[in-house]
Structures are given as structure tokens and as C-alpha cells.
């Protein structure tokens, strides 16, 4: 399990910015340590080097002293031997003989006995008398005097070294007494390899004897084991007591020159060599230790500082991880506070911030996902649930249904009884939605003002239908709000996944389409079918077309005269709209007015109509014709508070009197929202406009309402007038309506007058005006003046068959 996680953790660790801090701390510490280590390393190395130097110097000095001592000791034992010889009776006799040959002979014999290479006898003034080495007698004498001073009997502690014929000797001079001194014997003992070996045994030094003449280069003398290897020494050695390092053979040596003797141009010196191999080995061994300790120190330090850096950066890392989570919007995970340092204080502040944001987020989420008024989920939440339910449904293969509900006439209630009441009504509806009918798992939500939806997971069309029916029944029980009982009805649309839609939005949209269809067709309940959408699309395109019709001036004003039955005078015209459609030709109002009323677009048509009528009326007035224009108003117009104002402005703009306009309203237009409609009507009336009740007799005419309306005129619906010629019932209705109107002091207009007979009957019954094809069909407004000029009242007589009944 942990194996594959590892590279990931590593990768994330490497990619974290804290890595840099972490690494930087370690690197900084290491760098500091390295500097310290380097300084101490070089210091110690210097100390070691100097110690080695000093040791070598001390040894060389000791060597120098040992050499001097050796020479002195040697000289002392030689002197002892020489003195024994000088005291020898035979020898003294030979000397005293004064015969050179005898003296020379004694010198050679005795000298040989004690190993002297040269023996010389001189008088008391150090004048040579006889010498075994006659050629060098002067030379020996000079050096002997230099070594011993004038008093040869005084041995001192001098090494008495000299050069004879370019070779090193110890020159010993003793007095010959008989018994008073009569002369001196000087003996020369060659310096041998013994001396060199002795020094080698007593000290770690090697000895090489060198000589030079006239200040030239030193040349090693072939004495002792090192003479051959010491050849290069001559080049480097110059000044006495100077130490030089020189490579002889394999090894390094420190060499120091000790002058031994000089005579004439000749100089003799000893070079003491200190081989460095052991010093170097020792030095390197110490250095190795030092290096090892340094490296080990760095390693221990690196591990230690890595751990420390981790301990420091780990909380920072976890803190920044928390910050990253917060940044990514995850406020649910607490910020870890582990350590007890400054970082933890920061972490605690983070935690406080996180909880605050978390709480605020929760609050915002509540606001964002719940409807504040009803406590139901809102649209956003429903969509979330819906999306989840659809995912689930896609997996299980089960269907999923959505119901969309819209209250009927809610706006009316809201307007009439106030928003407070409306709110309580919505709350009551929400409560009822949730109670009883819905099954566990179903979710009711409020989408917008009076629109609700129910999500039914794992439900098909049939179940949805049953639940919808029960919901409707449930809501039909009157709701008690305060002391009022309110009847609520709803239109419900149903859409089911996967048959009707694939996505949440689409499903909701299609349930809505079905709901609008249910409301439009007063069926209360409707399941979505694609045809509904086509109808809606057609509607939509109609709306854009109508808009274009106004913009492109495709609407036409048609006029139909209203004529006084008594004298045939043209009392007014009814304005009727036509749509000159570029493709479909002249479209009658029946094909687009109902739609315009549904969508509210009728307001634009009405505005267009009023404007045209006033313009046209003004034109006729200028021609000397005073004609009243009757304009049809529908429900939406009556709910438009601004309508009276618009009319007034247009009238003033054209300088027309208000009484030149009559508004035709229908009962149903008033009944939809009586309060508001009545307010508009009263204001129009107050402005001086005439009012006519249209299509009288078709609605559930209520005389009570008729009484409340400030009317001038009543128009008997054409359905009665058209049939009254042949239908006695319609005839009676028309007659009684005429009477009723007159009793209420209203003018009566009969519309749909197609025949002469109907005209005659109406006139006979005292009807005031007639409108219909018998007089004229609706005509384009521009044709009206010509028609008016040609108009003559019909001369009609009543048919006999009717005169009987009258």
C-alpha cells in the first residue's frame, strides 16, 4: 500500500516551496560548518607543520651538538694515545737524536701504531722539522696551530678538524717533553665512516662531509654510506645554519650545513640530513585523522541540521498545506497545530480564521441553497439534487421524474391582498407540498415566486402522474390563512428522464413547458411531449414576428362604421387591427390577438392603435368630419396603470378632445382583476373618454358589475344579432338587452347587422346604433373618407312576417 505512495510524497515534498527553506537552512549550516572546519583544518595543519619543522630543527641542533661532541671525544682519545706516544722513551730518544732520518722513522713507526695517517714534528716555534707527509707539512702546521692555538699542550674541548691535501683529518698536537718541552708532534687521523655511523646511531640524522675550494660548490666527500646519494646537496647548500629541503633518492630530507674547518681556499663542512619520511608519515597520519574527524563532523552536523531544519519546516509545511487547502476552498479540514512555538501561534490564528470562514460559508451555503421564505430547497439545490439523481438513474437504469407546479392567479392574490398575505399563502402551499403526498426521497423545492418543483428519483411517468394528481387534490382543500380561507389551484407539468430529457436543466425546462401547457389548456396536469415544445417555439417565433410587424409598420388600421338607426348618421367607427404579413398576406386579428393578449404584447398593439386612431381622427376632423373612434382594450391593457396617461399625452399632442375616443372593454377583461381594471376604467372615464361594454351577453354577465362600471354604451354580441332573424330566443334576448340598456341609461349598439331585415327590426325596437356588414365591412382607414362621403342611410321597410309579431 505504502510503496506506490512513496514517489508521490517525495515528488510533492520536492515541489513544495518549503523545500527551499529546508534545504537553505541545511546548506547554510553546512557552509558555516565547512568554513569553521576548513579554518581549523588549515590552522591545525599549520600547527602540525610548524611542530614538525621545529622538531626537525631541534633534532638538527642536537645532531650538531652530538657531532661536535663525537669529534671532541674522538679528539680526546686520539690526544690520549698521542700523549702516550710522545711520552714514549724510545720516541723521545729518537727526537732528541736530532737526526732527521731517525726522527722521520720514529714518526712513521709510532704514527702507524696508533693509526695516524700523517705525523709531523715541529720545534717549539712550530717550525716543521720532519713530516711523514712532507708536501703537506706547512698546511698541517697551519691548521694545527689554528686548531690548538699557540699552546699545544692545552687540549681544550676542540674537535681539531682540518683539511690535509683536500681530505678531512683530526689534527692532534702534543708536546714532547724531556722533561721540558722540546718540540711538538702533530698527528693527523683521517675522519672515517665510523664518525658518520656513530652519528646515525645516536641521532636520526645522516651525515655527509663536504668540501669546497675557493667558495665554489660543495662536493660531498666519499666517506660514509650516504656520500653517493648526497651528490645533489652541493647545489642547494650554501650558507651555514640554513635549513633546506632536498630530495635525495626516494626521500625528502631537511639538510643543514655545519662548517668544520677551513684552510687556505679549502673549506670542510658536515651536512646533517634529517630524512622526512617518518615526519611526513606522521604528519599525514595526523592529517588523515584530522580530515576524518572533519568529515565525520560534517556528516553528523548535516544529519543533525537536516533533522532540525525538518523540525522547523515541517510545521511550516503543514501550515502552508493548510493555507493551500483554504485557498482551494476546503474550509472543512482543521489546521493542524502540533508544535509549541511561533509557528503554532500562527497555526492557531489560521485555525480561527478557518472556522470563521467555514461558518460564514455554511451561512452563505444556507442562503444559496435554501429558500428563505418557505424553508424549502431553492432552484440551485434542486438542480444539484437533480443532477445527482440523474447520475444515479443513468447507473441503475431507472427513470427519474420532475413535477413543476405554478399557482393559478397568484399575482392576483398578491396584488389584491398584499404581499404579506401572498408570502403566507406560499408558506402554506410549501407546507402542504411537503405533507403526506410526497414519498421519502422526493424533494420539493421553490423555484421562483409561485413556482415549485418536486424531484422524484426512481419514478416513471405513471407514478409521477399519480403523485401530481394527489398533490393537486391536496392543494384544492382550502388553505386557512389568518381568518381567510383561500382556494388554491395549480398547473402541474411532468417531465421524465430519460424519455423527455437527458440533463437536469433540460428536464426542468421541459417540465416547465408541460406546466405552461397545462395552465393554457386548463387541464391542470400535463406530461411533456415534444409537440408542446414545437407549439412554444411557434409562439416564440410569432412574438419576434409581431415585434418586427410594429417596427416595420406591417399593422394596418381598419375601420367599421357605427350608424345611428334613427337617421342613418355615422356616429363613429370601431378601430380593428389587421396584420399585413409579408408571407401570409392579410392576417385577421383572431389569429394573433389572443396570442398577443397571452404574452402581453397586446399593450404594444393597443398603443399603436390609440396613436393611429387619434392621428386618423384628427385628419377626419380637419376634413370637417367629427367621428368617434372606438378602440378595443383587453385585460392586460386594463392592468396597465400607465394607459390613461399615455392616452392623455397623445390626445394633447394631437389637440384632440377626449370624447372623440371610446374604449370597448369586455366583461372577461374586467373580471380577471376587477380592482385594478376598475381603477383604470375610472381614470379613463374621469379623463372624459366614452366607455362601451363589448360582446355583451357572452360572459357570465353580472348586472352588479354592470352597475359599478361607468359605461356609456352596451354592444350586443354579434352572435345574438346574427341569429335573431331566425331564432326567437335570440330575438327576445336582443329586445330585452335593448330595454335593459335603456333602463340603465346606456346607448345600445347591435353588432353583426348583416341584413336589411335585422336593421329594420333593431330600428323598430329602438336600438340606437347598428354595426355590421349591412352597413359596411371593416375597411382600410384610408378608404373611410370616400365611403363616408358616399354613405346614404338605407331606406328600409319592415317585412310583414315580423310586423305581426311586433
CB of residue 718 to Ca ion, shortest distance in Å: 6
Does residue 122 contact residue 143 with C-beta atoms inside 8 Å? no
Does residue 119 contact residue 110 with C-beta atoms inside 8 Å? yes
DSSP assignment string, 445-500 = EEEETTEEEEEEET--HHHHHHHHHHHHHHHHSPEEETTEEE---EEEEEEEETTT
DSSP assignment string, 403-439 = EEEEETTHHHHHHHH-HHHHHHHHHHHHHHHHTTTSP
Q: Contacts with ligand C2E in 83-122 (CB under 6 A)?
A: none
Count of residues in contact with ligand C2E, rule CB under 6 A: 24
Count CB atoms within 10 A of the CB of residue 699: 16
- Give dist(CA 185, CA 170) in Å, integer: 13
Q: Which of 467/741 has CB closer to Ca ion? A: 741
Identified binder of Ca ion from the candidate list 83, 695, 731, 768, rule CB under 5 A? 695
Identified binder of Ca ion from the candidate list 512, 694, 730, 731, rule CB under 5 A? 694
Q: Which of 397/590 has CB closer to ligand C2E? A: 590
Contacted by 509, from Ca ion, ligand C2E, none: CB < 5 to 8 Å by type: none
Q: What is the 3-state secondary structure (H, E, C) of 490-509?
A: EEEEEEEECCCCCCHHHHHH
CB of residue 592 to ligand C2E, shortest distance in Å: 9
Q: Which of 335/627 has CB closer to Ca ion? A: 627
CB of residue 679 to Ca ion, shortest distance in Å: 22
For residue 204, give the DSSP letter.
S
Count CB atoms within 10 A of the CB of residue 231: 13
Is residue 667 at the binding interface for Ca ion, with CB under 5 A as the rule?
Answer: no
Q: Which of 450/695 has CB closer to Ca ion? A: 695
Helix (H, G, I), strand (E, B) or coil at 713: strand
Q: Which helix H or strand E contains 690, and what residues bound it? A: strand 690-696
CB of residue 609 to ligand C2E, shortest distance in Å: 5
CA angle 500, 502, 508 (to 5 degrees): 70
- Give dist(CA 623, CA 81) in Å, integer: 182
Identified binder of ligand C2E from the candidate list 718, 735, 763, 769, rule CB under 6 A? 718
CA distances from 338 to 67, 320, 352 (A): 77, 14, 15
Identified binder of ligand C2E from the candidate list 190, 434, 589, 658, rule CB under 6 A? 589
Q: What is the 3-state secondary structure (H, E, C) of 529-555?
A: CHHHHHHHHHHHHHHHHHHHHHHCCCE
CB of residue 783 to Ca ion, shortest distance in Å: 20
CB of residue 668 to ligand C2E, shortest distance in Å: 11
CB of residue 560 to ligand C2E, shortest distance in Å: 6
Stretch that binds ligand C2E, among 196-204, 462-470, 583-591, 703-711 (CB under 6 A): 583-591
Q: Contacts with ligand C2E in 607-636 (CB under 6 A)?
A: 609, 632, 634
Helix (H, G, I), strand (E, B) or coil at 556: strand
Does residue 656 contact residue 621 with C-beta atoms inside 8 Å? yes
Is residue 664 at the binding interface for Ca ion, with CB under 5 A as the rule?
Answer: yes
Q: Which of 589/658 has CB closer to ligand C2E? A: 589
Q: Which of 186/632 has CB closer to Ca ion? A: 632
Identified binder of ligand C2E from the candidate list 353, 754, 779, 796, rule CB under 6 A? 754
Count CB atoms within 10 A of the CB of residue 451: 17
CB of residue 558 to Ca ion, shortest distance in Å: 12
DSSP alpha helix (H) spans, 219-341: 233-236, 277-327
Q: Which of 315/772 has CB closer to ligand C2E? A: 772
Which residue is associated with the grid cell 311586433? 806
Does residue 420 contact residue 349 with C-beta atoms inside 8 Å? no
Stretch that binds ligand C2E, among 428-436, 501-509, 573-581, 740-748 (CB under 6 A): 573-581
Stretch that binds Ca ion, among 11-19, 25-33, 474-482, 657-665 (CB under 5 A): 657-665
Nearest to 739 by CA among 716, 710, 705: 716
Biggest CA–CA distance in the chain, Å, is 225
CB of residue 489 to Ca ion, shortest distance in Å: 30
Which triple of cell numbers denotes residue 166?
A: 683536500
For residue 377, give the DSSP letter.
B
Q: Which of 91/558 has CB closer to Ca ion? A: 558
Helix (H, G, I), strand (E, B) or coil at 214: coil
Contacted by 459, from ligand C2E, Ca ion, none: CB < 5 to 8 Å by type: none
Is residue 576 at the binding interface for ligand C2E, with CB under 6 A as the rule?
Answer: yes
Contacted by 640, from ligand C2E, Ca ion, none: CB < 5 to 8 Å by type: none
**Distance between alpha carbon 176 and the CA centroid of its chain, in Å?**
116
Q: Which of 249/600 has CB closer to ligand C2E? A: 600
Would you give the binding string for ligand C2E spanning residues 657-686, x where CB under 6 A is met? -------x----------------------
Stretch that binds ligand C2E, among 178-186, 281-289, 366-374, 575-583 (CB under 6 A): 575-583
Would you give the binding string for ligand C2E spanning residues 764-803, x where CB under 6 A is met? -------xxx----x-------------------------
Stretch that binds Ca ion, among 221-229, 363-371, 402-410, 688-696 (CB under 5 A): 688-696
Nearest to 262 by CA among 195, 214, 207, 208: 214
Is residue 560 at the binding interface for ligand C2E, with CB under 6 A as the rule?
Answer: yes
Q: Which of 211/690 has CB closer to ligand C2E? A: 690
Count CB atoms within 10 A of the CB of residue 316: 18
CB of residue 703 to Ca ion, shortest distance in Å: 19
Identified binder of ligand C2E from the candidate list 753, 760, 761, 781, rule CB under 6 A? 753
Report the residue closest to ligand C2E, judged by CB.
772
Q: Which of 718/763 has CB closer to ligand C2E? A: 718
Which triple of cell numbers denotes residue 533?
A: 415544445
> Could you check whether the bond before residue 440 is cis, i.e. omega within 30 degrees of 0?
no
Q: Which of 450/694 has CB closer to ligand C2E? A: 694
Identified binder of ligand C2E from the candidate list 667, 673, 730, 751, rule CB under 6 A? 751
Q: Which of 459/771 has CB closer to ligand C2E? A: 771
Nearest to 750 by CA among 719, 721, 713: 721
Helix (H, G, I), strand (E, B) or coil at 374: coil
Q: Which residues pair with 527 in a beta bridge?
A: 494
Contacted by 772, from ligand C2E, Ca ion, none: CB < 5 to 8 Å by type: ligand C2E
Contacted by 773, from Ca ion, ligand C2E, none: CB < 5 to 8 Å by type: ligand C2E
CB of residue 730 to ligand C2E, shortest distance in Å: 14
Contacted by 315, from ligand C2E, Ca ion, none: CB < 5 to 8 Å by type: none
CB of residue 600 to ligand C2E, shortest distance in Å: 12
Nearest to 563 by CA among 762, 765, 786: 762
Which triple of cell numbers denotes residue 556?
A: 394596418
- Give dist(CA 433, CA 425) in Å, integer: 12
Which residue is associated with the grid cell 348583416? 754
User: Checking DSSP bridges between strand 628-632 and strand 661-666, what pairing results, if any?
Assistant: parallel
Stretch that binds Ca ion, among 470-478, 632-640, 726-734, 789-797 (CB under 5 A): 632-640
Contacted by 593, from ligand C2E, Ca ion, none: CB < 5 to 8 Å by type: ligand C2E
Q: Which residues pair with 404 in a beta bridge?
A: 453, 493
Which triple of cell numbers denotes residue 527?
A: 406530461
Is residue 570 at the binding interface for ligand C2E, with CB under 6 A as the rule?
Answer: no
Instruction: Please report, as ranges, the residues that interact with Ca ion according to CB under 5 A.
Output: 632, 664, 694-695
Instruction: Please report, as ranges, the residues that interact with ligand C2E according to CB under 6 A.
Output: 560, 575-577, 588-590, 593, 602, 609, 632, 634, 664, 694-695, 718, 751-754, 771-773, 778
Amino acid at each position: 500500500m505504502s510503496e506506490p505512495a512513496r514517489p508521490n510524497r517525495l515528488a510533492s515534498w520536492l515541489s513544495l516551496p518549503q523545500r527551499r527553506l529546508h534545504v537553505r537552512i541545511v546548506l547554510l549550516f553546512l557552509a558555516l560548518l565547512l568554513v569553521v572546519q576548513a579554518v581549523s583544518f588549515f590552522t591545525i595543519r599549520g600547527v602540525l607543520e610548524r611542530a614538525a619543522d621545529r622538531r626537525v630543527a631541534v633534532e638538527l641542533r642536537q645532531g650538531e651538538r652530538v657531532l661536535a661532541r663525537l669529534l671532541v671525544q674522538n679528539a680526546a682519545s686520539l690526544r690520549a694515545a698521542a700523549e702516550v706516544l710522545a711520552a714514549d722513551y724510545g720516541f723521545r730518544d729518537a727526537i732528541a737524536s736530532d737526526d732527521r732520518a731517525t726522527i722521520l722513522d720514529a714518526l712513521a713507526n709510532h704514527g702507524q701504531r696508533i693509526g695516524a695517517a700523517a705525523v709531523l714534528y715541529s720545534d717549539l716555534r712550530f717550525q716543521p722539522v720532519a713530516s711523514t707527509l712532507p708536501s703537506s707539512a706547512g698546511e698541517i702546521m697551519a691548521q694545527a696551530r689554528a686548531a690548538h692555538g699557540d699552546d699545544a699542550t692545552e687540549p681544550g674541548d676542540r674537535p681539531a678538524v682540518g683539511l690535509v691535501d683536500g681530505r678531512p683529518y683530526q689534527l692532534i698536537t702534543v708536546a714532547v717533553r724531556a722533561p721540558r718541552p722540546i718540540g711538538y708532534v702533530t698527528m693527523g687521523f683521517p675522519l672515517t665512516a665510523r664518525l658518520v655511523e656513530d652519528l646515525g646511531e645516536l641521532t636520526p640524522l645522516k651525515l655527509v662531509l663536504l668540501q669546497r675550494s675557493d667558495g665554489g660548490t660543495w662536493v660531498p666527500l666519499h666517506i660514509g654510506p650516504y656520500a653517493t646519494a648526497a651528490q645533489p646537496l652541493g647545489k642547494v647548500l650554501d650558507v651555514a645554519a640554513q635549513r633546506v629541503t632536498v630530495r635525495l633518492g626516494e626521500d625528502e630530507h631537511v639538510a643543514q650545513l655545519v662548517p668544520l674547518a677551513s684552510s687556505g681556499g679549502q673549506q670542510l663542512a658536515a651536512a646533517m640530513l634529517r630524512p622526512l619520511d617518518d615526519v611526513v608519515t606522521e604528519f599525514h597520519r595526523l592529517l588523515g585523522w584530522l580530515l576524518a574527524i572533519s568529515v565525520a563532523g560534517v556528516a553528523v552536523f548535516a544529519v543533525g541540521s537536516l533533522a532540525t531544519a525538518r523540525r522547523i519546516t515541517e510545521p511550516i509545511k503543514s501550515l502552508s498545506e493548510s493555507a493551500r487547502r483554504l485557498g482551494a476552498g476546503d474550509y472543512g479540514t482543521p489546521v493542524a497545530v502540533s508544535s509549541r512555538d511561533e509557528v503554532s501561534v500562527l497555526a492557531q490564528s489560521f485555525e480561527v480564521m478557518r472556522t470563521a470562514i467555514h461558518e460564514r460559508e455554511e451561512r452563505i451555503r444556507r442562503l444559496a441553497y435554501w429558500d428563505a421564505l418557505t424553508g424549502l430547497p431553492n432552484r440551485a439545490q434542486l438542480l444539484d439534487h437533480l443532477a445527482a439523481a440523474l447520475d444515479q438513474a443513468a447507473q441503475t437504469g431507472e427513470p427519474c421524474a420532475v413535477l413543476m407546479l405554478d399557482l393559478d392567479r397568484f399575482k392576483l392574490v398578491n396584488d389584491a391582498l398584499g404581499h404579506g398575505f401572498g408570502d403566507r399563502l406560499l408558506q402554506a402551499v410549501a407546507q402542504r407540498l411537503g405533507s403526506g403526498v410526497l414519498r421519502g426521497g422526493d424533494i420539493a423545492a421553490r423555484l421562483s415566486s409561485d413556482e415549485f418543483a418536486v424531484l422524484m428519483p426512481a419514478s416513471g411517468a405513471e407514478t409521477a402522474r399519480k403523485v401530481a394528481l394527489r398533490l393537486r387534490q391536496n392543494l384544492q382543500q382550502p388553505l386557512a390563512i389568518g381568518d381567510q380561507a383561500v382556494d388554491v389551484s395549480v398547473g402541474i407539468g411532468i417531465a421524465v428522464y430519460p424519455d423527455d430529457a437527458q440533463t437536469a436543466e433540460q428536464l426542468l425546462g421541459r417540465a416547465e413547458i408541460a406546466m405552461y401547457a397545462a395552465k393554457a389548456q386548463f387541464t391542470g396536469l400535463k406530461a411533456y411531449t415534444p409537440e408542446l415544445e414545437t407549439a412554444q417555439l411557434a409562439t416564440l417565433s410569432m412574438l419576434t414576428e409581431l415585434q418586427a410587424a410594429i417596427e416595420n409598420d406591417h399593422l394596418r388600421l381598419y375601420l367599421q362604421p357605427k350608424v345611428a338607426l334613427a337617421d342613418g348618421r355615422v356616429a363613429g367607427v370601431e378601430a380593428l387591427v389587421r396584420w399585413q404579413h409579408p408571407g401570409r398576406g392579410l392576417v385577421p386579428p383572431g389569429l394573433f390577438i389572443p396570442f398577443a393578449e397571452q404574452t402581453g404584447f397586446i399593450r404594444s398593439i393597443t398603443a399603436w392603435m390609440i396613436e393611429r386612431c387619434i392621428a386618423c381622427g384628427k385628419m377626419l376632423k380637419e376634413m370637417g368630419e367629427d367621428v368617434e373612434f372606438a378602440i378595443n382594450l383587453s385585460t392586460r391593457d386594463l392592468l396597465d396603470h400607465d394607459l390613461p396617461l399615455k392616452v392623455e399625452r397623445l390626445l394633447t399632442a394631437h389637440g384632440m378632445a377626449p370624447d372623440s375616443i371610446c374604449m370597448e372593454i369586455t366583461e372577461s377583461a374586467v373580471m380577471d382583476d376587477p380592482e385594478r381594471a376598475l381603477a383604470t376604467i375610472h381614470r379613463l372615464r374621469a379623463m372624459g373618454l366614452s366607455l362601451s361594454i363589448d360582446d355583451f351577453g357572452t360572459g357570465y354577465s353580472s348586472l352588479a358589475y354592470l352597475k359599478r362600471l361607468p359605461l356609456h354604451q352596451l354592444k350586443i354580441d354579434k352572435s345574438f344579432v346574427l341569429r335573431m332573424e331566425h331564432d326567437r330566443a335570440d330575438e327576445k334576448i336582443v329586445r330585452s338587452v335593448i330595454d335593459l340598456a335603456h333602463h340603465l341609461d346606456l346607448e345600445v349598439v347591435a353588432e353583426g347587422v348583416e341584413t336589411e331585415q335585422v336593421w329594420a327590426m333593431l330600428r323598430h325596437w329602438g336600438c340606437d346604433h347598428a354595426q355590421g356588414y349591412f352597413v359596411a365591412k371593416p375597411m382600410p382607414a384610408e378608404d373611410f373618407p370616400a365611403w363616408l362621403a358616399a354613405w346614404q342611410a338605407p331606406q328600409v321597410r319592415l317585412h310583414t312576417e315580423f310586423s305581426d309579431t311586433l
